[in-house]
Structure 1
Amino acid sequence: MDEDAKRVHHPHDDAIVITLLIADYTIKRVLIDNGSSADILDYPAFQQIRLRQDQLHPVNSALVGFGKTKVQPVGTITLSVVVEAYPQQITKEVNFLVVDYSSSYNAIIGKPNLNSWKAVTSTYHLSVKFSTEQRVG
Structure 2
Amino acid sequence: MLIPTDVPLVGFGGTRVYLPGAVTLSVTIGNYPQQITKDVTFLVVDCSSAYNAILGRPTLNSWKAVTFTYHLMVKFPTQYGVGEVQGDQIAARECYIAMLEMDNHLPAMCIEERWAVAEPIEGIKEVRLDDTKPEWMTKIGTLASLSVHQALKSFLRDNLDVFAWSHEDISRINHSVIVHKLNVSPSFSPVRQKKRVFAQERDRAIVEEVRKLQEARFIRKVYYPDWLANVVMVKKANESGGCALTSKI
TM-score by length of 1: 0.58
Matched, 1:93 2:31: no
- Give the whole-Å Cα distance in 2 for the aligned partners of 1:99 and 1:121: 25
The alpha-carbon deviation at position 64 of structure 1 amounts to: 1.1
* Aligned twin of 1:63: 9
Q: Structure 2: which 5+ residue stretches go unaligned?
A: 84-249
Q: 1:1-137 to 2 correspondence within 5 Å? A: 55-137=1-83
Query: Does the CA-based 8 Å contact 1:71-1:101 persist in structure 2?
Result: no
- Give the whole-Å Cα distance in 2 for the aligned partners of 1:128 and 1:100: 28
- Give the whole-Å Cα distance in 2 for the aligned partners of 1:60 and 1:79: 20
The CA RMSD measured in Å over matched residues stands at 1.0
* Structure whose residues are more often helix by fraction: 2
| Residue-by-residue CA offset, 1:11-55 (whole Å, 9 max, x unaligned) | xxxxxxxxxxxxxxxxxxxxxxxxxxxxxxxxxxxxxxxxxxxx2
Q: Structure 1: which 5+ residue stretches go unaligned?
A: 1-54
Q: Which has the larger radius of gyration?
A: 2
Supply the AA of the counterpart residue of 1:98: V
- Give the whole-Å Cα distance in 2 for the aligned partners of 1:135 and 1:67: 43
Query: Does the CA-based 8 Å contact 1:79-1:95 persist in structure 2?
Result: yes
Q: How many correspondences in the alignment?
A: 83
| Residue-by-residue CA offset, 1:64-94 (whole Å, 9 max, x unaligned) | 1233332111101111000012101000000
* Aligned twin of 1:4: none
SS in 2 for 1:115: helix
Write out the 4+ residue segments of structure 1 that deviate beyond 2 Å after TM superposition: 65-69
- Give the whole-Å Cα distance in 2 for the aligned partners of 1:127 and 1:67: 30
SS in 2 for 1:113: helix
- Give the whole-Å Cα distance in 2 for the aligned partners of 1:93 and 1:119: 15
The alpha-carbon deviation at position 112 of structure 1 amounts to: 1.1
**Which of structures 1 and 2 has the larger relative contact order (alpha carbons within 8 angstroms, sep 6+)?**
1
TM-score by length of 2: 0.32
